[in-house]
Structure 1
């Protein structure tokens, strides 16, 4: 299934807003990083299960790549004579898969019709490996022949692997295995865990998918016994497009155009209305008591507080916090804005917001300070 997901940049500073693929592949910085998107999906969209499914499928792909790398190493160690003789048929396909995974980097594409992706070659190898072949030089030669039949043409860069641990190894590897290797049973268990956690009716964290896509995944795993990454391609692409369409635009509005979270916005609305009400009440009292203009100058304080907080609520932005380069992750939890383009964008919006605050504040203060008093 061809993915319509966007192609990430090859690197360098972005002079634009990031796309969803760049966020999910951890190529962005705060406040538009993956952690911020996770919090947004959890707290605002209330649909973090979709994001977790996408990340778990990416982790499953990483697990499969690690399994293939370990398999290649075991073949080379157990058959050193093949290297000396110049024959690499037993490990050539595994070496090609590993090289493609290592070379993908930032230039990897996501969804090109003309190419036969490495993901498909990896899935083809795992399907053949699952039919009962053993991890021996002879079996590896048969695996090479079978995979070559399925994957004509030159190597193409695959989609990146996203979920890797801090040590650089794929997440989800059984740490009890010798040398942290991955067994074929681990891949099977990973595929079944995704199925039973997200896809089956009544699952613990069930996500809604089209019935056709759901049936294909269930049949492939339960009836055909497959556990290769290609099983989840349809569901993964559907979830990606759903997040890109329904959640990501709101995330960019909240994090790239604003720097406060909904609880803070509500608090600022309440404080702003109370301060503005107090300012108007005090202003009319001072006017009808015929107080001096010097005394009425104190109205600047409540009017400024009220207008500032109401403008912050309206723009979803604290202008002073934006100018010093901070954004709110969760309520009263702040972090520095590290994405250069986002920081410039927030600074421009902060200056515009401060301009409107000053205009409205000056207009209100002049109105209630210079109007003639009338003692009742």
Structure 2
């Protein structure tokens, strides 16, 4: 059977407040074309279908339009979707009654039996070949929250050991369903040990201070493939060709600007063959000017060289890096004036201060705010951010503001 693995679509995401519907629709159109041209039989989507737990009507319509068109054009296509940490597990599962007669399986929640044990039958999806014979059992396991996984007695790390126990028990359950010439694959949405991550992964994807990292040894060696989501950089885990993150189809931040966004395609009978990756076409590029921060005067000159407006729908997102000696109140205005007729979307202005060193602010001494005067807080904050004394004109403005506030309160 020929399988395509993807994840982390984040439908509905705003990129620095810019709507990305155009980009997401272009990806879904490309994905349908790829499913057709590659004659894909199974599509695996490993979590974070939506960017937020309460997605917009546009995002929901986009997903179900895709499902309808993909299955209409490929009557034998089987689709397995699991929930990620950005998805509402119950909301994602809500349409299941309408999909029960189709080859679309959506798994969001971990259901328990009357005795409190996990219902592994719900998580074990049979995948059939063109003759209607079951050839693969898929462990469709969504993002696991506290209470979803078994409790392990005397665990030093209840989360990672609980998740490992769940995958072990799910695998043992699937083995009871197996017959000759059948194999097992698994899906997951998690952070694994040694995964390479972006700045956004660091700030948004870690959920429990790092203790949620799962080892590749959690997946039984007899599992033929493990389709992972959660980390946006496509990569193998633990040096294993068959344990992979597909990565996100679109860059979620400027730190992901140079990622190769892709899907993974492979054939599976008793073993994996013909594994390859297909790079997803870039619809709207991310542009960084300059590549290394320079003084504002130089940056403005470089911005002047940009193309004038033509096709704003596909205009690049622009991040500007500028070197400043001190705060520049008119920074955004000066940049926006230059870009007024340029074919870019200003997404981010990143200032850098050459004198900034590791903060030595007295705030590190855990002073209580009520022990400090407003001018002390202002001075310490400024020094912590810019590693310099507050300029006289700024201090005069601050003092005047204090006077105005005090007069208003009086």
TM (norm. structure 2) is 0.21
Which structure's relative contact order is higher, taking Cα pairs within 8 Å and 6+ residues apart? 1
Which is strand-richer, 1 or 2? 2
More helix by percentage: 1
The TM-score with structure 1 as length reference comes to 0.23
